Amino acid sequence: MTVTARSANAPYLQKILQLMADSAPETPHIALAGNPNCGKSTIFNALTGLRQKVANYPGVTVEKKEGVMRLDNVGDVHVVDLPGTYSLSPRSPDEEVALDVILGFREDTPSPSVVVAVVDASNLERNLFLATQVISTGKPVVVALNMMDLARETGFSINTEALAKELGVPVVPMSASRGQGLSELKSAIAEQLRSPSPSPEKLPLKPEIAKYVDTVTEPLLRHKLATPASARGEALRLISSQRALLHPRRPRTGGEVHKAVEAARQQLTAEGKAWHGLEAEVRYQWIEAVIKKTCRQREVSQRTSDRIDRVLTHRVLGPLVLMLIMLGVFISIFNFAKVPMDAIQSFFGWLAGFVTNIMAPGPLQSLLTDGILAGVGSILVFLPQILLLFLFLGLLEDTGYMARAAFIMDRVMGRVGLHGKAFIPLLSSFACAIPGVMATRTIENAKDRLVTILVAPLMCCSARWPVYFLLAGAFIPDVKFFGFIPLPALVIFGMVIFGVVAAVVMAGVFKMTIIKGETPTLILELPPYRVPKTGTVLRMMLERGWIFVKNAGTVILAISIVLWALASYPKKEGATPEEQIHQSFAGRIGRLSEPVLKPLGFDWKIGIAIIASFAAREVFVSSMGTIYGVEVSDTKETADLRSRLRQEKDPQTGKPFFTPLRAVSLMVFYVLAMQCMSTIAAVKRETNSWGWAMFQLAYMTGLAWVASFIVWQGGQLMGWG
Residue 240 to residue 276: CA distance in whole angstroms = 4
- List the beta bridge partners of residue 54: 65
Pick from 184-193, 217-226, 364-373: least confident: 364-373
Per-residue pLDDT band at 203 (split at 50, 70, 90): confident
Cβ-contact 299, 155 below 8 angstroms: yes
pLDDT at position 23 over 80: no
pLDDT at 222 over 90: no
Q: What is the pLDDT of residue 1?
A: 36
For residues 53 and 495, give the distance between their C-alpha atoms in angstroms, rounded to a whole number. 35
pLDDT for position 257: 86
Which residues, in sequence order, are bridge partners of residue 573? none
Report whether 443 contacts 419 (CB < 8 A). Answer: yes
350 or 710, which is more confident? 710
Question: What is the pTM for the complete model shown?
Answer: 0.59
SS3 359: coil
Summarised one tens digit per residue, pLDDT across range 515-537 is 766 555 555 566 677 778 787 78
pLDDT single digits (tens) 229-253: 888 888 888 888 887 887 766 666 5
Q: What confidence tens digit (pLDDT) does each residue in 92-124 have?
A: 777 888 888 888 888 888 889 999 999 999 888
**CA 678 to CA 460: how far, in whole Å?**
16
Q: Whole-angstrom Cα distance, residue 327 to residue 302?
A: 30
Give the separation between CA 173 and CA 589, rounded to whole angstroms.
65
Cite the DSSP H helix spans in 113-226. Answer: 124-135, 148-153, 160-167, 182-194, 207-222
Query: How would CATH label the architecture of 27-194?
Result: 3-Layer(aba) Sandwich (3.40)
More confident position, 365 or 119? 119
Average per-residue pLDDT in the chain? 81
DSSP string, 667-712: HHHHHH----HHHHHHHHHHHT-HHHHHHHHHHHHHHHHHHHHHHH
From CA 634, how far away is CA 224, in angstroms rounded?
A: 77
As a whole number, mean pLDDT of residues 42-64 equals: 73
Burial of 700 per CB tally in 10 Å (0-12, 13-18, 19+): buried
Q: What is the mean pLDDT of residues 471-495?
A: 86
The confidence band for 463, taking pLDDT boundaries of 50, 70 and 90, is confident
pLDDT of amino acid 517: 61
Residue-level pLDDT at 25? 47
For the chain, the domains span 27-194, 207-275
Q: What local confidence, expressed as pLDDT, does residue 185 receive?
A: 94
State the CB neighbour count (10 A cutoff) for residue 200.
Answer: 16
